[in-house]
Structure 1
Amino acid sequence: MAEEESDHESERLREELDSSLEHGVRDENGLPSKYYCFKFCQVVEEYAGRWQVPLPQLQVFQIALCCFTKGTATFPAECEQIQYVLSSLALSFFELLLFFGKDEFIEDPLKDIIESFQECYTTLARYKNVYLKLVKQIIKEGGPWENPVLKAVLKETPQPQETVDMYLNSEIPAFFEIRVRYLLACERIEEAVALSKCCIPHPEVGTNLYFHQAYLTCLFKASLRDHLHKEMARINSKDAVEIICNAEREEKDEVLLGLCRAFLIQQLETGNMYYIWDLIFIWSKLQLRANSSKQDFLEECQQLLLAATNVKMIFPFMKAIETELGDEGLQMKKVSDRAMPSQDWRCCAP
């Protein structure tokens, strides 16, 4: 009965996707490319969202890719909307393939899905979509976990840097980020840390700050303070602000506050004003979110100021206290009077 219902749903999906093409609004070339691509994504997202397990979702994307291949047969190769849809489909395929091992690739129903993908790729190759091409290559290797260099990285087996760099160059940063997210979701923390550490030094892949975010949060949660501070020292304040803001969507306030405070102390100790206003603003919001006590907030400001080596750093604290506490911010004078005499204040040139 469940299989019959699944067949009916698959047929409804095909009908909706075909209908989007037939009744789409035509562009200046007489093609419904923009409308079709928009409606296509909408329908596929709706059907895929009905499932919470990978195999049925993959089957949705299998049908979607087959329909899209047929529907875009007459579309121009340089169509921007098609590139977007193909990239999205490829990323979805890749993300869902993470749940399967090499042995499952040669058994139905996954075997049938992969064969469909390869058949569609033959037709879609004219679009020269990088994401689609990479998924094809990964399938050829036996899946997203089968590359021997990746296996060595996850096991922290020493590899020549040149070999690691060649592997990282062979894919796009998004694929490595998706792998790290998957590993963290599965609580395979050591492997997630190993892969993040591998990606961070790479000149291209390492520009994706998510790898820093993942590595730092793992170090913080493991209470590895020395490693945490060493890693933070390599990150400038602008990137630190971005990391904390991005992490807010995924981490608890305790982690966010801990990371922000550690970044802030590092900046205070160096006396560098770069993005200090932003760091203090974010810290103040997180601190009061974790503890609404005004007195505790003032005391925390005092403790942080004790680490400052630049007298100018008092001003963003004054602004934060004034913003958060209003008239009670006048107590800042008491805080600064107590903090400044104990420090070797150095006024930096503007």
Structure 2
Amino acid sequence: MADEEAEQDSCPVDSIRETTVELRKRLEDLQAALRDGTGSAVQSSSEYCQQFCTLAQEKLKENGLLQLSFLCTLGHYDGVWTNEVLQGLLLNQNLPSEQVEEFLLQEGPVLLQMRVKQLMKDKQMDKAASLSKTCWKSSGLQGKDAFKQMYLVCLCATSEQDELMEKLSKEDCRDALEMICNLDSDGDDQAAFTLCSAFLTRQILHGDTYCA
């Protein structure tokens, strides 16, 4: 029994050792290619990074560690924001739904939330609204409630009051309170205040003082 447990404990160590050896060999090949001047330095480095990310992703999945999988996804791009589907979504282009869904599932909710939050931080609210709405409306993406509240916060910054009030009138008051509380608990005081002000304005304009 003890021998079996010891063998199981050694498996992760052996896996890490094998991975390290393989990555070292690939890095040595890259150094040799750069030293000999065979091929473009940028191309060789890019290929190494992609191989590294692919191998890392496989090992993370094998050990049930998916938290950093978005880094592997980024490793396959030429740049963080260069993906053609992503660019189309940011520009609110009409893209094939299958292509959009494939991209969203490849990116995953963690990376997509990071993208939307970065766009909001950079005051690119139109692009943040477009991307968050697409994520919210996705049929296969998880964690869509978070994208909905980010989308509504973006609307508060980009829409005229009449248009904003019309869209907010379709939202349940209890859902609005939950979103405001979520933003507040996440420490996003500005977004919570923005959304709270918008819904309070809606209540006042509609003469509705009751929130079921």
Q: Give the TM interval when normalised to the shorter protein.
A: 0.5 to 0.7
Counterpart for residue 236 of structure 1: 172
Q: In the superposition, relative to structure 1, how do residues 221 and 138 fare at CA in structure 2: closer, same or farther (>3 Å)? A: closer
Matched to 1:73, the amino acid is: V
Offset of 1:133 from its aligned partner? 5.0
CA deviation string 1:270-314 (max 9, x = no partner): xxxxxxxxxxxxxxxxxxxxxxxxxxxxxxxxxxxx435xxxx49
Is the contact between residue 49 and residue 75 of structure 2 (CA under 8 Å) also seen in structure 1?
no
Q: Does 1:72 align with 2:12?
A: yes
Is the contact between residue 70 and residue 110 of structure 2 (CA under 8 Å) also seen in structure 1?
no
Is the contact between residue 200 and residue 206 of structure 1 (CA under 8 Å) also seen in structure 2?
no
Offset of 1:155 from its aligned partner? 1.6
Offset of 1:181 from its aligned partner? 0.7
Counterpart for residue 225 of structure 1: 161
Matched to 1:193, the amino acid is: A
Q: In the superposition, relative to structure 1, how do residues 132 and 229 fare at CA in structure 2: closer, same or farther (>3 Å)? A: same
Counterpart for residue 122 of structure 2: 186
CA–CA distance in 1 between the matches of 2:93 and 2:57? 35
CA–CA distance in 2 between the matches of 1:250 and 1:108? 42
CA–CA distance in 2 between the matches of 1:254 and 1:176? 23
Higher Rg of the two aligned structures: 1
Matches within 5 A, 1:294-313: 306-307=207-208, 313=210
Offset of 1:153 from its aligned partner? 0.7
Deviates more, 1:110-119 or 1:124-133: 110-119
Counterpart for residue 194 of structure 2: 255
Matched to 1:261, the amino acid is: L
TM-score (norm 2): 0.63
SS of the counterpart of 1:194? Answer: helix
Offset of 1:233 from its aligned partner? 3.5
TM-score (norm 1): 0.41
Is the contact between residue 200 and residue 211 of structure 1 (CA under 8 Å) also seen in structure 2?
yes
Matches within 5 A, 1:1-350: 29=5, 72-74=12-14, 106=42, 116-121=52-57, 123-124=59-60, 126-127=62-63, 129-130=65-66, 132=68, 135-205=71-141, 207-222=143-158, 224-248=160-184, 249-252=187-190, 254-262=193-201, 264=203, 306-307=207-208, 313=210
Q: Gapped runs of 5+ residues in structure 1?
A: 1-27, 34-69, 76-105, 270-305, 317-350
Q: In the superposition, relative to structure 1, how do residues 183 and 262 fare at CA in structure 2: closer, same or farther (>3 Å)? A: same
Q: Gapped runs of 5+ residues in structure 2?
A: 16-41
Q: In the superposition, relative to structure 1, how do residues 146 and 200 fare at CA in structure 2: closer, same or farther (>3 Å)? A: same
Matched to 1:251, the amino acid is: D
Counterpart for residue 329 of structure 1: none
Deviates more, 1:147-156 or 1:225-234: 225-234
CA–CA distance in 2 between the matches of 1:72 and 1:173? 28
Give the RMSD, CA atoms, in angstroms.
3.9
